[in-house]
Amino acid sequence: MSLFVIIISGILINNYVLSRILGICPFLGVSKQVETAFGMSMAVTFVMTLAGVITWLAQTYVLEKLGLGYMQTVTFILVIAALVQFVEMVIQKFSPTLYQSLGIYLPLITTNCAVLGVSILNIKEEFGLLETTVNSAASAIGFGLAIVLFAGIRERLELSNIPEAFKGFPIALFTASLMSLAFLGFAGLV
Amino acid sequence: MNNRRVFMDGIIFNNPTFVQVIGMCPTLAVSNSAVNGFGMGLAATAVLIGSNIVISMLRKATPDEIRIPIFIVVIATFVTIIEMIVQAFFTPLYEALGIFLPLIVVNCIILARAEAFAFKNSVFSSAVDGLSNGLGFTLALTILGVIRELFGAGSVFGKTVMWGSFEPMSIIVQPAGGFLVLGILLAIFSIFTAKKASV
Amino acid sequence: MRDIVKLGLILFIVTAVSAGALSITNDITKDIIEEKAIEANKAYMQEILPDAEDFNVMEGPGILSVKGVEEVYEALKGGETYAYVIKTKTKGYGGDVIILTGINVDGTIAGMRVSSQSETPNLGDRIAGEEFGSQFEGLSVERELKLNEDVDQVSGATVSSTAAIGGINASIELFNSVLR
């Protein structure tokens, strides 16, 4: 598969949130304001790309070499948890400003299923290292795009008059449903 | 805590899906048919019971600083075991659930129960808590699955139940339909809880 | 410092126990999973080629040279190869579509079966149905098959139908370039 197809597919066609349904918790949880949504998507992009590459290396050079394929889930989730911790410490030490804007989102990323999802999918699709890197980044950007757009809509919803029963999650889910419908239009793109 | 209370909490009063609104990825992704929703629910229940029991047994020996990594390892182990069992004995379900089977690891419900309950309570209570939260999750997924399969495919658990000329609304079994149906259910749920509160 | 060693050791023990448990489960389930996969193939192959007495896995240079081809079997009757079954994997709408295509030595398609797919229920998954699959029976493999020309697609499921015909075309290519 060409890299271009991977990028388009990761961002639009197989959008992680709206078509693969991965990473819904932060999508619903951290999308009340565009600013925080943007911060979250930045943190996720960073961690997801790094996690995709490191788990690929772990799979190719450790698990497959040792015939420990069944340790995949345990290894990947530990690698991701350690990576998130490490990134948090590094950012805190070297860039307190960046830490202030991203720091609070980092612990949430460990249980963001999009991160583990991209790691497993890279292996399933039998991607090489370059494809893995591109796919992880593109998928993360797709996640970011969805959550920022969603937050934009939710900011406006705050100002509108919504029936009592639909306030909160229901109206958010309807919005997500309509966005998912819209993204369905990209399905025939490649 | 009273074990019966623990049990009812997980299934109804503190239902992971309808009340806590967590574990949304599998809820939306695999509830496109009743069988898938039910199967996913049971797989998660098995993991929950196992991880709750082990984490509760280890709670005295687990240092606070590294409890999260230990939870994660325990949960991931159970997930992989369940994954292998499902693959060996329920192959069609394994194929239908796909990537969402290993992703049970990051299902917030399981980590939340480990942290909020199993780490502080006795082994037996933790098992009950795992069972009840798992069943609450299974119940929610099955309800969603039945509704989506009924309207999206005209069948329930694979059996056609709608009349012959019924044209299935295939959008309901797609991601967009998942968001929509869950939204409607949560709205109905909130109408009932609001009424109760005002009475 | 001693704390870190102690914490690391505890975590290591937990992980080691986990690895042990997984390796035992893996040992128990591995053979069952493999057997089931082969058995499932056999059942489909027997459906495609009811006359076959035995199936052999084919190996050798070029056998897997076409992209998408996963496994190749020869079907035997009276000790002679009279058809091939080729297993392919292509990308559908919801994931991989695994198809077994039977091709007779005379260059006609004996039949096809979808052995695994995760397409949209009641839409894309109709590629696994009788109506779609039976269209391929008896078609010649002189050239690549085209959707809506040689066979009708499943209406509303272009991506799934394309994946299915892609798998069959990979089988045709392999038959023409290597097996024939």
| Long-range contacts of the stretch B96-100 (C-beta < 8 A, 24+) | B96/B30, B96/B33, B96/B35, B96/B36, B96/B39, B96/C118, B97/B30, B97/B36, B97/B39, B97/B40, B97/B43, B98/C95, B98/C118, B99/A117, B99/A120, B99/A121, B99/A124, B100/B25, B100/B26, B100/B29, B100/B30, B100/B40
Sign of CA dihedral C172, C174, C179, C180: positive
**Number of structural domains, chain C?**
1
Least confident of A65-79, A99-113, A149-163: A99-113
Task: Please give the pLDDT value at position A90.
Answer: 84
Structure tokens that stand for A120 in this block: 């497993």
Kindly tell me the sign of the dihedral angle through the C-alpha atoms of A85, A89, A94, A96: positive
| ipTM for the predicted complex | 0.85
What's the pLDDT tens digit per position in A22-47? 888 888 888 888 888 888 888 889 89
Which residues does A115 contact at the CB level (< 8 Å), separation at least 6? A23, A44, A47, A48, A51, A80, A109, B106
Task: Choose the weakest-confidence range: A118-122, A129-133, C70-74.
Answer: C70-74
Question: Looking at the domain assignment, is residue C9 inside a domain?
Answer: no
Output the pLDDT for position C1.
Answer: 63
Q: Note the pLDDT of residue A29.
A: 81
pLDDT tops 90 at residue A165? no
Are the C-beta atoms of residues B118 and C63 closer than 8 Å to each other? no
Question: Would you state the pLDDT for residue B198?
Answer: 53
Q: Is A5 on the interface with C (CB under 8 A)?
A: no
**DSSP, residue by residue, B101-153:** TGGGGG-HHHHHHIIIIITTS-HHHHHHHHHHHHHHHHHHHHHHHHHHHHHHH
Interchain contact, B175 vs A166, CB within 8 Å: no
- Range 5-44 of A in CB contact (< 8 A) with B: 18-25, 28
The residue range of the domain holding B14 is 3-143
pLDDT of residue C158: 86
pLDDT along chain C (180 residues), means of 10: 81 88 89 81 87 83 83 88 91 84 92 84 83 90 88 87 92 88
Tell me what pLDDT residue A129 has: 92
Decide if B128 is inside a domain. Answer: yes
Q: What is the pLDDT of residue B163?
A: 81
Q: What is the pLDDT of residue C79?
A: 84
Residue B156 lies in a domain: no
Q: Is residue B23 part of a domain?
A: yes
Tokens linked to C76? 């035997």
Q: Tens of pLDDT along chain B (199 residues)?
A: 578 888 888 888 888 888 878 888 888 888 888 999 999 999 999 999 999 999 999 988 888 888 888 999 999 999 999 999 998 888 888 888 888 899 999 888 898 899 889 999 999 999 999 999 999 999 999 999 999 999 988 888 888 888 877 877 878 888 899 999 999 998 988 888 766 555 4
Which amino acid appears at position C92 of this protein?
G
C158 chain-A contacts, CB cut-off 8 A: 188
The minimal CB distance from A187 to the residues C19, C23, C159 is found for C159
Q: Is A104 exposed, middle or buried (0-12, 13-18, 19+ CB in 10 A)?
A: middle
pLDDT of the residue at C165: 93
Across the range A62-68, mean pLDDT stands at: 86
Chain A stretch 75-134, residues whose beta carbon is closer than 8 A to a beta carbon of chain B:
77-78, 81-82, 110-113, 115-117, 120-121, 124
> CA of A164: which chain B residue's CA is closest?
B191
Q: Give me the domain span that covers residue C122.
A: 46-179
d(CA B176, CA C57): 43
Residue B84 falls inside a structural domain = yes
Looking at residue B195, its amino acid is K
* Cα dihedral across residues B23, B26, B27, B28: positive or negative: positive
> Residue B187: inside a domain, yes or no?
no
Instruction: Find chains touching chain A: ≥3 CB pairs under 8 Å.
Output: B, C
Cα(C37)–Cα(B92) distance, integer angstroms = 11
In this predicted structure, the answer to whether residue A57 has a pLDDT above a threshold of 50 is yes
Instruction: Break chain C down into helix, strand, coil percent, rounded to 5.
Output: 45, 25, 30
Task: Flag whether B162 is in a domain.
Answer: no
Q: Which chains does C contact via 3+ CB–CB distances below 8 A?
A: A, B
pLDDT of residue B80: 94
Q: Do B25 and A19 touch (CB under 8 A)?
A: no
pLDDT greater at residue A169 or residue A138: A138
How far apart, in whole angstroms, are the C-alpha atoms of residue C171 and residue C165?
A: 10
- What's the confidence (pLDDT) of residue B132? 93
Query: How many structural domains is chain B composed of?
Result: 1
For residue B114, is it within any domain? yes
According to DSSP H, which parts of C98-138 are helical? 130-133
Domain assignment present for C148: yes
Of the CA atoms within 13 Å of residue B2, those in its CB half-sphere come to 4
CA A148 to chain centre: 12
Residue B75 domain flag: yes
